[in-house]
Amino acid sequence: MRGLQWFNALSAGPAAVAGLPASLKVADGMLGGQPVRFIAVVTDPDNRFPRARTGEVGLLEGWGLAKAVDDAIARGDQRPIIAIVDVPSQAYGRREEALGIHQALAAAADSYARARLAGHPVIALLVGKAMSGAFLAHGYQANRLIALRDPGVMVHAMGKASAARVTLRSVEELEALAASVPPMAYDIESFASLGLLWETLSVSQIEQPTADDVARVGDCLLKAIRDVDGRDLSGRLGASNRAASSHVRQLLREQW
Amino acid sequence: MTDLLSRHSFVELGARQRARALLDSGTFRELIDPFQRVMSPWLSRQGVVPQADDGVVIAKGSIAGLPVVIAAIEGNFQGGSLGEVGGAKIAGALELAAEDNRKGIETRAVLLLETGGVRLQEANLGLAAIADIHAAIVDLRQYQPVIGVVAGSVGCFGGMSIAAGLCSYLVVTREARLGLNGPQVIEQEAGLEEYDSRDRPFIWSLTGGEQRFNSGLADRYVADDVAQLQQTVTALLQQGVPAQQRSRQAEHYLARLNELDASPHIDAATVRALYQGERS
Amino acid sequence: METLSFEFPAGQPPKGRALVGCVGSGDLEVLLEPGTPGTLSIQVQTSVNGAQLRWQHLFERIFQQPTPPALNIEIHDFGATPGVVRLRLEQGFEEIGHD
């Protein structure tokens, strides 16, 4: 519910785009005197796709996110787009695979990336889980990533149980490894050490943000919007825990 | 029979051989070759044996005289999973190809995708690299076609299936599978009744190359043959950027999905009819 | 995983270098490069622990006769059988010989 709470607290006014599934919240608000589009994926117990009822990014959500972002691009005013991220996972199901959920998520990533290339400042605000394919579709294409400091805010490629099964380890072994290998950890501090976040900040009530929480987060979003100085993701490079990513690029350039 | 005998399997080739097979003879030039030993900084410390090229081959050259960079993933190393180094190799190569185009050099890209997605031993760095790859495909695609090839036998899953969905054109064979979530993970997350990871015919019927082509989620369906793949990739490169990207058809797909009765489980024929109508 | 080192007497270094194999199940990757005259040195990273002696014996059999060229060989092994190791080394030597 965090995603919905923060969406309600930050945005105002009526739904900005018609014809979207109930699992998407899209509205425009004002930030620093300019219109800003807020987008969140939320739970929908009546979702026609049963595997996408608790906030997962599924078929309707992927294509719907694309539509919501495309609509912002079509307005032509380069309004900032804020992805409020609280997504437990992509939808895991038979219908989803059969109907090409990968293509739906590609559409979402495509739209966010095109918005960024078209000069929209795109900011992702992580208030809950930002897991795997769901995060790739909703947030990871942003110019700037901001995370709230909280044990419930986490970024990862796979849930613990599945990750343990796939790597042939126990959950305990996985946790022990994660403690010494930063990219394997689930906590936001370890994630921050990879240099991917632009900012982290603490709030007093992450589940039910206070007026002060909302003001501080709004401030931070505004700073992030003003900080955007390019249209690519190069601002994420440079951390010592992600040194190889820079090294490889440097070598490629030399040998190109 | 003669047809079968004269074929040369592409699927059986390793990543480096595949890249070589697609490029014009004598033009293959590898960047960050294995002798430079730019290996994963994360695998050895977890007791996993690394590979000298981290499972990704980046090669420049030409196809039918057109400047091309190929990124080929080695499916036999760690299931083709992408870690920090391999992921950065693909992202960095695509970024430089886009930069080329801004300078007037018309570099195209071909991605040979055999991958389970993120390498879990490098989890968040693999995921970040895949986000970079998505960004770079969308950027380069504005100028030149980015062609994805899923030949098999690993298939293309996880975040890299999203990359496949972003490509200007997608080429598949009968040996290919394409899906977001691997069968084991779906079974783990959703239960055996939802998805039986050991029921191979069922999985192929929904996610195999033939089905993906017949339901409009891939652009070309070719035999596992070096010459045919070479011809297909060449023709697509010459075709230039497509009039309409598949990943930009939100209205179309939302309308189709709204027509679907989503309560029963669906089969392959339903998907084909829904997405392709009369054509299937 | 274990990292092992071996050295054998050798002749002159070859001109070329070669890469064969892949770090796939039951397979190995072998990188062969010109070394210092008189010495064949081998470094093995293997997923199978406690096999130092088996590698030693295998290399002794392979490199006893004739005198091998001076090489630096790096092996990344993913549980290959001695037969596969021998096959890959022979492939590598052949590729170097072709240069």
Q: Which chains touch A (3 or more CB pairs under 8 A)?
A: B
ipTM: 0.97
**Residue B112 forms contact with A (CB below 8 Å):** no
Q: What is the rounded average pLDDT of the residues C51-80?
A: 94
Residue pair A69/B247 in contact by the 8 Å Cβ criterion? no
Q: What is the rounded average pLDDT of the residues A30-35?
A: 91
Closest residue of A to B161, CA-based?
A: A102
Residue B187: C-alpha distances to residues A63, A210, A236, B179, B198 (Å): 24, 40, 34, 14, 10
Residue B280 has pLDDT above 50, yes or no: no
Q: What is the rounded average pLDDT of the residues B62-86?
A: 98
Q: Compute the nearest-CA separation of C79 from chain B (Å).
A: 10
Q: Which residues of B touch A249 (CB under 8 A)?
A: 88, 91-92, 95
Q: Tell me the pLDDT band of A118, cut-offs 50, 70 and 90.
A: very high
User: What value does the mean pLDDT of chain B take?
Assistant: 95
Residue type, A67: K
Q: Which of B107, B125, B103 has the alpha carbon at shortest distance from B54?
A: B125
Tokens of C36: 């210092």
The whole-angstrom separation of Cα B138 and Cα B126 is 19
For chain B, give every domain's residue range: 2-178+218-247
Strands of the sheet with C28-34, listed across from one edge:
C2-9, C39-46, C71-77, C28-34, C18-21
Q: Which fold has domain B2-178+218-247?
A: 2-enoyl-CoA Hydratase; Chain A, domain 1 (3.90.226)
Q: Which of A117, A54, A42 has the alpha carbon at shortest distance from A84?
A: A42
**Residue C33 forms contact with B (CB below 8 Å):** yes
Residues 228-257 of B with CB under 8 A from A: 245-251, 253-254, 257
Does this model's pTM top 0.90? My answer is: yes
Domains of chain A: 2-255 (3.90.226.10)
More confident residue, A174 or B142: B142
Q: Which residues of B touch A109 (CB under 8 A)?
A: 134, 138, 162, 166, 247
Residue pair A193/A184 in contact by the 8 Å Cβ criterion? no
Instruction: For residue range C18-39, list pLDDT tens digits in order.
Output: 999 999 999 999 999 999 999 9
Strands of the sheet with B169-172, listed across from one edge:
B29-31, B56-63, B66-73, B108-112, B146-150, B169-172, B220-221
